[in-house]
Homo-oligomer: A and B are copies of this chain.
Amino acid sequence: MLDNKENPLTSLEKLGEFGLIDHLTQSIQIAQESTQTGVGDDAAVLNFDGLQTVVSTDMLVEGVHFNLAYVPLKHLGYKSVVVNLSDIYAMNAVPTQILVSIAVSNRFSLEAIEEIYEGIKIACKRYNVDLVGGDTTSSQSGLVLSITAIGQAKTEDLCYRNGANANDLLVVSGDLGGAYLGLQVLERENEVFKANPNMQPSLEEYEYIVGRQLKPEAGKHIVELLAELEVKPTSMIDVSDGLSSEILHLSKQSGYGFKIYEEKIPLDPMVIKTAEEFGINPITCALNGGEDYELLFTISQSDFPKIKGNPNLTVIGHTTEQNADNYLILNGSESAVPLTAQGWTSF
């Protein structure tokens, strides 16, 4: 049915994730007065008389987003909620409800699904959101989780991806690259285990980065911190695909180029040590690894004194000119490397 067309077909591999999204969404039209922002930001914004309602959805697929050989089901449930809430926080909004759909094959027992739900409920409690609906169905193979998060914000608090101005500072919360390296450790231990099932995985010394991969947290504390500091970012996004890719989003939507500095990118000592062990540049992990779920945002230079010295926030660069390219300035040099998007290429 799919193969008997006469024209040659476009492969998804060639298009890539962002190309596909652009392609599929370019002709979407908005008809409802209440739809303030649709596709194209971390979450849609709906205006229902007064407070803004923010919604976002994400799908996690077995074998693509997680491997049950080393991801405990409870962690999976927790993470699936967190990655959605992260999109709501990236709007500078507060998540209030989620809906959860799960497809499972008959190789899963009730207890297995309960484990997933247990993680979901822990996340709901941690982030004070209500699970208000969903769907549970069977699949022929594999586990699929689809979560929709809904949140609220005052109109004046919302942060979009397109708001950066000339000479804004680029700020990131926490540190980067850990989730990617945590995954490398888990995959390596899994290979060891497959080769010799009597070997127990040695994960203790990698606790921080393995935790970043298995049980990430969303930017609740950062949104609260920004409110406390009275800093309203001019634009914001969460780091799900990697720093590089997120900067390109902010750049494309604002029209400004960005310059970031290698020496400023926040790295945990364990990230540096583990990257060395794997023979990778830790900066590459930060730029292209993804899944750190930190918040990346721009602020006006006049807000710099408010965030200066805060251990949770690092200024890593700034916007340049309109329509300029995006660059990484290498340590101790004037060399500039163009930033390129990786995203996922699992097609």
The reply to whether the CB of A101 lies closer than 8 angstroms to some CB of chain B is yes
Closest to A19 in B: B110
A333 within 8 A of B: no
Whether a CB of chain B sits under 8 angstroms from the CB of A46 is yes
Interface residues on chain A, size class: 35 or more
In the bound complex, do residue B12 and residue A109 qualify as a contact, i.e. CB atoms below 8 Å apart? yes
Choose from B2, B39, B48, B111 the contact partner of A109 (Cβ within 8 Å): B2
With an 8 A cutoff between CB atoms, is A308 at the interface?
Answer: no
Give the residues in chain B near A140, CB-CB below 8 Å. 61-64, 141-142
Q: A96-B32, A110-B23 are in contact. Are A132 and B50 (CB under 8 A)?
A: no
In the assembly, how many copies of this chain are there? 2
Say whether chain A's binding surface is mostly helix, strand, loop, or mixed.
mixed
Q: Which residues of B contact A48 (CB under 8 A)?
A: 48-51, 53, 152
Binary contact readout A1-18 vs B (1 if CB under 8 angstroms, 0 otherwise): 110010101111101010
A28 at the interface (CB under 8 A from B): yes
Residues of B within 8 Å of A32, CB to CB, are 96-97, 128-130
Complex Cα gap A61–B104 (Å): 10
Does A272 touch B at the CB level, under 8 Å? no
- Chain B contacts for A63, CB-based, 8 A: 139-140
On whether A46 and B141 interact (CB within 8 A), knowing A9-B109, A113-B24, the answer reads: no
CB proximity of A3 to chain B, nearest CB, Å: 9
Q: 4 other contacts beyond A37-B132, A55-B55, with CB at 8 A cut-off?
A: A20-B110, A44-B99, A48-B53, A99-B148
